Amino acid sequence: MKLKDPGLLRQSGLIDGIWRAGNANKRIEVIDPSDQTALGTVPDMDGADTKAAIAAAERTFVDWKKTTHGRRAELLAAWYNLVIENLDDLALILTSEQGKPLAEARDEIRYGASFIKWFSEEARRIGGMTIPSPTPDRRILVLKEPVGVCAIITPWNFPTAMITRKVAPALAAGCTVVIKPSDLTPYSALAIAVLAERAGIPKGVINVVTGMPQAIGEELISNPTVRKISFTGSTRIGSLLMRGAADSVKRLSLELGGNAPFIVFDDADIDLAIEGVIASKFRNGGQTCVCANRILVQDGIYDEFSAKLSERVVAMKVGPGLVQGIDIGPMINEAALAKINRHVSDALQKGAQLVAQAKTVAVGKQYAAPTVLGNVTVEMELAREETFGPIAPLFRFKTDEEALSIANGTPYGLAAYFYTQNLKRSWRIAETLEFGMVGLNTGSISTEVAPFGGVKQSGLGREGSQLGIEEYLEMKSFHIGGLGG
């Protein structure tokens, strides 16, 4: 990795402002998914390291929560500036360990930075309330206070943005954090932590523990000092954390899996819908929680839509994310590729049709060919689970009711998209879809200014927007008596 600033690539965890290499015999390799070579190692930290990180966050919390809102805002703004100044290096680190095309990695760094900027601004606006008292001798106030030490557990698919979307509001609110990044993509998290340190954010406010999840997770869940867990990842691990957090009644924010429907009605602007589905389905090689997983197309335009999408998909270029002009990088690991292949062969076995497939010159073993499947039905595995790959399955439907029944027929409820030009239909569909986020005539719904989150088994709580900071604040009602006479 040829970084302008090699100091951004850290192979240590960060506890109480000290970069810790950990036990020399307990390290894990970080693998470049484009060719499976080792980029380096990080410590495989354990319960004791995690306990030390929690203790550091607890100690620092005392001062950090008293730091003025204005000062916290300045420090976050300085952090944002450094992230933008180091965009090239951060994107290079991200693509090297995660695989996405470099242009997308740059977009993720900008997107991730946008949360730091947004919450640096929100830090100044944490107000409170005054409530008219029921008696004349009393006054009642509601004070907003930071929750305390927060555990931040993040996945590999957006290794920078998933951290900033949580850590920026936590710090703005006055909380301190222990971050556990995915062991597949720790370098992006560590680089972001280096920049926080350079921005002047005090030691111990941000701690990063690297390694395999079980021992670290157990300590984060069971340690009573941790007052909140903010998790992005699979529904399986999210519900495991929820059960564990029950014993010490921790607060939870859970951003979990999705199974997004993308509905195209007969009256849609088809070209706009094609742009939308390309953006939604194929970003990050289809490895996003909000990506279109089930593409429902109405009978009257099905053939035209399928032909236009196929034309775009066969032209996609697959290869290492650092090569210019690549649309789809490698999948994160072999297990991810195996799941994609399993979904495709299950669909073909049950009667789906292979409509189009991009040519993948033999680029390596972790690459999936962008594919359009036709005549997909709800009996197939890819209708029930996230495929997490560049596979576009087309379902044919006749009526609005049928489309809604397929769309809502999932335990997940993160994102949904639909395309129509009819106003009445727009409102009816938007209000009937059981999802936390709905896009009408757009395939892009992620921005720092709007609440992000799901319903049903897609999670609890919202990130981003003016609501995101509330996840890290407690309300204290303060009653003042004896004011009569």
Residues of this chain that interact with ligand NAP (CB under 6 A) are 153-158, 162, 180, 182-184, 213-214, 217, 232-234, 237, 240, 255-258, 289, 386, 414, 454, 459
Q: Is residue 175 among the annotated active site residues?
A: no
- Minimum distance from residue 288 beta carbon to ligand NAP (Å): 7
- Specify the DSSP element, H or E, that contains 191: helix 186-198
Q: Which residues of 402-435 are buried (b: 16+ CB within 10 A; e: fewer)?
A: ebbebbeebebbbbbbbbbeeeeebeebeeebbb
User: To 5 degrees, how large is the angle CA 237–CA 33–CA 46?
Assistant: 45
Q: Can you name the residues that pair with 178 across neighbouring β-strands? A: 151, 207
- Minimum distance from residue 361 beta carbon to ligand NAP (Å): 28
Angstrom distance (rounded) from CA 347 to CA 380? 6
**375 phi-psi bin (left φ>0, alpha ψ -120 to 50, beta other):** left
Angstrom distance (rounded) from CA 113 to CA 111? 5
Nearer to ligand NAP, 232 or 306 (CB): 232
Angstrom distance (rounded) from CA 58 to CA 177? 9
- Minimum distance from residue 325 beta carbon to ligand NAP (Å): 26
Nearer to ligand NAP, 239 or 399 (CB): 239
Residue 332, SS3? coil
- Minimum distance from residue 323 beta carbon to ligand NAP (Å): 25
DSSP string, 407-436: HH-SSEESEEEEE---HHHHHHHHHH---S
- Minimum distance from residue 452 beta carbon to ligand NAP (Å): 6
What are the tokens at 254? 């859970």
**Which residue sits closest to ligand NAP, CB atoms considered?**
217
Catalytic choice (122, 255, 386, 463):
255
Angstrom distance (rounded) from CA 58 to CA 204? 8
In this structure, the strands spanning 251-255 and 226-232 are parallel
What are the tokens at 284? 């990050």
Nearer to ligand NAP, 105 or 162 (CB): 162
- Minimum distance from residue 307 beta carbon to ligand NAP (Å): 30
- Minimum distance from residue 184 beta carbon to ligand NAP (Å): 6
- Phi and psi, residue 119, nearest 5°: -80, -15
Catalytic choice (150, 175, 289, 291):
289
Residue 348, SS3? helix
Angstrom distance (rounded) from CA 357 to CA 392? 10
Nearer to ligand NAP, 356 or 445 (CB): 445
458 alpha carbon, distance to own chain's centre? 12
Nearer to ligand NAP, 75 or 292 (CB): 292
Q: Is residue 401 among the annotated active site residues?
A: no
Q: Which of 174, 194, 85, 76 is nearest to 126 (CA)?
A: 174
- Cβ-based neighbour number of residue 213 at 10 Å: 14
Nearer to ligand NAP, 57 or 78 (CB): 57
Burial of 132 (0-12, 13-18, 19+ CB in 10 A): exposed
Nearer to ligand NAP, 38 or 361 (CB): 38
- Minimum distance from residue 229 beta carbon to ligand NAP (Å): 9
Nearer to ligand NAP, 210 or 420 (CB): 210
Q: Active-site residue numbers?
A: 255, 289
